[in-house]
Amino acid sequence: MTYVVTDKCIRCKYMDCVEVCPVDCFYEGENMLVIHPDECIDCGVCEPECPVDAIRPDTEPGLEQWLSVNTEYANKWPNITVKRESPADSAEFENVEGKFDKYFSAEPGQGD
């Protein structure tokens, strides 16, 4: 199994998760982070750190799309281990539905 970042992260991108991961397996896109499924050791410590509950164990049903997104982009985006300031308008996107179709960006973030 692995933990995955879901679309709730998109444009919120609080980055509290990266500080607690013991194996540094978060990768940064322009608008969201993903977890590398082959590097995650399933410790679960990042899950309660996310203010918008964007991180879920892939043992939950219905997460296939996010497992696929995490797998693909963890291999394309740069590693991030240090929290930076979140986007100025993060809070406006906390309860937006359908963020993947509206706001997903395949562009990489800046990484560490």
For 52-95, the DSSP string reads: T--EEETTSTT-HHHHHHHHHHHTTSPB--S--PPPTTGGGGTT
Q: Convert residues 1-30 into a mask of x (bound to ligand SF4 by CB under 6 A) and - (unbound).
A: --x----------------xx-x-x-----
| Residue of the chain from 25, 40, 55, 74 that contacts ligand F3S (CB under 6 A) | 55
The alpha carbons of the chain give a radius of gyration, in whole angstroms, of 12
Residues 6+ apart with CB under 8 A from 54: 5, 6, 7, 8, 9, 12
Beta carbon nearer to ligand F3S, 53 or 64: 53
- Contact flag: residue 80 with ligand F3S (CB under 6 A): no
- Contact flag: residue 25 with ligand F3S (CB under 6 A): no
- Contact flag: residue 73 with ligand F3S (CB under 6 A): no
14 binds, among ligand SF4, ligand F3S, none (CB under 5 to 8 A by kind): ligand F3S
CB 90 within 8 A of CB 11: yes
- Contact flag: residue 67 with ligand F3S (CB under 6 A): no
